[in-house]
């Protein structure tokens, strides 16, 4: 049964009073990039299925994937892949009990952001 003496206070912090922190934002973006990678994977599978379906269908899908819009989507997919991978490394470090203080956590958050952009740039240059 709910406590009737709580008054008009919220049950938990919400977006109107909670100040987002780097750690929470980077964690949310790890989840978002994970879902975005599903979309990128579906596009690659669609491209491979088109290759197996015949030349005419493949030419259509290949034209879409290799268009400017397709290049942007694939570049963002590479960024999402690096960001999500670095987020996974951060969580593996946290699982060992290291890096849980605010200062180290913030440094790892910035390392994820800067590292994913740098690794994406290097990946796109290498292609």
* H or E element at residue 115: helix 102-126
Are 30 and 83 in contact by the 8 Å Cβ rule? The answer is yes
Average pLDDT over residues 104-110: 96
The domain ranges of the chain are 21-126
pTM, rounded to two decimals: 0.81
**Is 14 labelled a binding residue?**
no
Average pLDDT over residues 90-118: 96
CATH of 21-126, picked from 3.30.1340.30, 3.40.50.300, 1.20.1300.10, 1.10.600.10, is 1.20.1300.10
The pLDDT of residue 1: 52
- Tell me how far apart the alpha carbons of residues 34 and 28 are, in angstroms, rounded to a whole number: 10
């Amino acid at each position: 049964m709910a406590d009737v003496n709580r008054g008009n206070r919220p049950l938990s912090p919400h977006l109107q009073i909670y100040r987002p922190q780097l750690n929470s934002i980077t964690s949310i973006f790890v989840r978002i990039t994970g879902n975005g990678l599903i979309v990128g994977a579906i596009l690659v599978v669609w491209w491979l299925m088109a290759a197996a379906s015949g030349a005419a269908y493949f030419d259509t899908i290949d034209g879409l994937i290799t268009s400017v819009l397709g290049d942007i989507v694939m570049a963002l997919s590479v960024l999402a892949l690096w960001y999500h991978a670095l987020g996974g490394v951060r969580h593996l470090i946290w699982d060992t009990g290291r890096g849980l203080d605010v200062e180290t956590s913030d440094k790892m958050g910035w390392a994820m952001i800067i590292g994913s952009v740098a690794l994406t740039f290097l990946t796109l240059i290498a292609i």
